[in-house]
Copies of this chain bind each other. A is one copy, B any other.
Amino acid sequence: MNLLEAFKQTKFQLSGHGNRNIKVLKDAFEQMDEQQESDMYGSGKIIEEFQDKLASYLGKESAVFFPSGTMAQQIALRIWCDRKGLKKVAYHPLSHLEIHEEDGLKKIHHIEPVLLADKNSVIELEDIVGMDEDVSCILLELPQREIGGQLPSYETLESISTYCREKGIKLHLDGARLYEITPYYKKTAAEISSLFDSVYVSFYKGIGGIAGAILAGEKDFIEESKSWKRRYGGDLISLYPYIVSADYYFDKRSQNMDEYYEGAKTLARLFNECEGISTLPLEPVSNMFHVHFNHSKEKMEQILIQLYEETGIGLTHYLNKTGEHSCYYEVSVGDRLAAIPIEELRNVFNLLNEEIKK
């Protein structure tokens, strides 16, 4: 049996909200009126009301629903570049745009990115002040997912925002996990967003919906983004399968971020008590973190499969190899964690620690 198969047979799982299956859609639609009309190419009650709701939640004038964040963010950067007449933006070396989008920003828009900060660090004010070229827009991803979900201090965000406004550089928030950082910063999503000119949020990470994104900003910016949405083929005749589910899970989970954050801190402590295991960050600043093992991927897979069989609790379905004797995986705490009795949780980590020490 491999790790994925063993994981699928566990009764409890530490990470996430639940399986990504058709029940996610069925639950969201169960109470929906069958006669409710579809949205039509960006118009209609379903899409307009949700856009207004999220604009308000994010404290922005206007918002538009996109099928994906990839589409929304490329478009946001394109608009800021067009306005300044400079096809240059700056972001982190491990930004989603740089490593997960097949160079869409470069191949579609011919926008050149300036990479800010070392890839293992978050972007600080000095990185921005130290740039030796002008850019139209800086994108900050909060939290920085690929390094375990790290964050700069809130004061840093404020000083970056002030600096960018002075220098005529637009600031865009990659808020794929924006809800998830509100407990750490002790700020609302609108307060954080107020430091940015445009903001994107996702509905299938902390919120646990099916797919989809919102881009928010000033009205003229959002109107312009709608033309690009059509150019991209993102202005679907019906986006309601994603909107209805986004709305349903937003209402269900956007209030739970404190619980996920506390759960992540508890879980990270349990991991860090084990020999040869550490989390990044050591103390999470959102619901997410990375678990690093100072053991080979092969050894850890063996240990984890046995652990899943003994306890019925699954930690992860995959491990990424980083060296001969190191590997890691990502944790995003959601609804699942709270379903596990605390004694069983402690038992898993005791067994894990014992097995590793053998």
Contact = CB atoms under 8 A, between A and B. Distances in A.
Interface of A: 19-26, 29, 32-38, 40, 66-72, 74, 101-104, 107-108, 204, 210-211, 227-228, 230-242, 244
27 contacts: A19-B37, A20-B37, A20-B40, A20-B237, A21-B37, A24-B38, A25-B240, A25-B241, A29-B29, A38-B210, A67-B233, A67-B236, A68-B236, A70-B235, A71-B233, A101-B231, A102-B227, A104-B231, A104-B232, A104-B233, A108-B232, A204-B238, A210-B237, A210-B241, A211-B238, A232-B234, A241-B241
Contacts of A35: 19, 21-23
B21 A36 contact: yes
B24 A107 contact: no
A150 B57 CA distance: 49
Copies assembled: 2
Given A230-B101, A231-B104, A234-B68, A38 B26 contact: no
B233 A68 contact: yes
Given A20-B37, A21-B35, A22-B32, A210 B238 contact: yes
A46 B36 CA distance: 27
B32 A29 contact: no
A102 B230 contact: yes
Contacts of A210: 38, 237-238, 240-241
Q: Counting chain B CB atoms within 10 Å of each CB, which of A24, A210, A211, A241 scores highest?
A: A241
A66 B233 contact: yes
A37 B244 CA distance: 19
Contacts of A230: 70, 101-102, 104
Given A29-B29, A102-B231, 6 more contacts: A21-B37, A22-B29, A22-B32, A22-B35, A23-B34, A38-B210
A67 B104 CA distance: 17
Nearest to A40: B20
Instruction: List 4 A-B pairs, minimum CB-CB distance, nearest first.
Output: A71-B233, A70-B233, A241-B241, A104-B231
Contacts of A227: 102
Nearest to A71: B233
Contacts of A244: 22
Contacts of A74: 233
B238 A20 contact: yes
Contact of A22 (B26, B38, B228): B38
Contacts of A38: 20-22, 24, 210
A33 B37 contact: no
Contacts of A107: 231
Contacts of A231: 101-104, 107-108
Contacts of A71: 232-234
Contacts of A36: 21-22
A33 B22 contact: yes
Contacts of A40: 20
A133 B72 CA distance: 37
A21 B230 CA distance: 22
Given A24-B38, A108-B108, A233 B236 contact: no
A26 B25 CA distance: 10
Contacts of A235: 68, 70
A311 to B, nearest CB: 23
A82 B97 CA distance: 23
A37 B317 CA distance: 15
